[in-house]
Homo-oligomer: A and B are copies of this chain.
Amino acid sequence: MRVSDKHQKITQAAVKVFARKGFFNARISDIAKEAKVADGTIYLYFNNKYDILISLFEDEIGKIILKVKLLLENETDPLKMLEIYAIHHMSLLQDQKELVEVLQMELRQSNKFIKEYRNTKFIEYIDIVSDIVHKGQQTGHFRQEVMPGVVKRAFFGALDEMSRLWALSAKPKYTLEETARQITGIFLYGMVVRNS
């Protein structure tokens, strides 16, 4: 078995256990059992419990960034790009519900050290949105007075909160696609009726 295999097996087990119990209630022995390794083995691949969390975050957000950048590569219309981003973000939930739950938890931990450590990857992810907005302003698609730095947060926050609802509720009212489109639609066109 290659080294990376066991590393990954532990990471995946940790995602499951963290999602189920939360970071602090998760025991190392739980993760070990889930990964089918001995407790001590975990310490051959990670320095400590925090390290599992951190490395999990880095790795998984990294993958997500790669994937969404790939999807956006051949699109030039900023409106469409925003929709692609939204749909991809929401569909993470379908494929990796547990991961999403863990990332949401982590992002709100109050441990300053941990928070700052992971902020860089997270910022890279939401900066994709501000880049799109900025681009859309240059091409004249988007209003100039909109602040990309606010939009990226607001857009992410909106999607993330919908994810949270989804992860929570047994039988969601809306489909993921529908939700992504609704949110994109609101951000693009607003809610107010216009007489054109």
CA distance in complex: A192, B187 (Å):
8
Measured between beta carbons, the chain B residues less than 8 angstroms from A179 are: 150
A26's nearest neighbour on chain B, judged by CB, is B110
Stoichiometry (number of copies): 2
Q: Please report which residues of chain A, range 177-192, place their CB below 8 angstroms from some CB of chain B when the two chains form the complex.
A: 179, 182-183, 185-192
- The reply to whether A190 and B196 form a contact with Cβ atoms under 8 Å apart is no
- The stretch that binds B, out of A33-41, A51-59, A61-69, A155-163, is A155-163
A24's nearest neighbour on chain B, judged by CB, is B24
Measured between beta carbons, the chain B residues less than 8 angstroms from A115 are: 168
Main secondary structure on A side of the interface with B: helix
Does any Cβ of B come within 8 Å of A71's Cβ?
no
Residues of A within 8 A of B (CB): 18-25, 79, 101, 104-105, 107-111, 115, 119, 133, 136, 140-143, 146-147, 149-151, 153-162, 164-165, 168, 173-174, 179, 182-183, 185-194, 196
CA distance in complex: A155, B143 (Å):
20
A149's nearest neighbour on chain B, judged by CB, is B173
Measured between beta carbons, the chain B residues less than 8 angstroms from A142 are: 191-193
Chain B nearest CB from A20 CB (Å) reads 7
- The reply to whether A182 and B25 form a contact with Cβ atoms under 8 Å apart is no
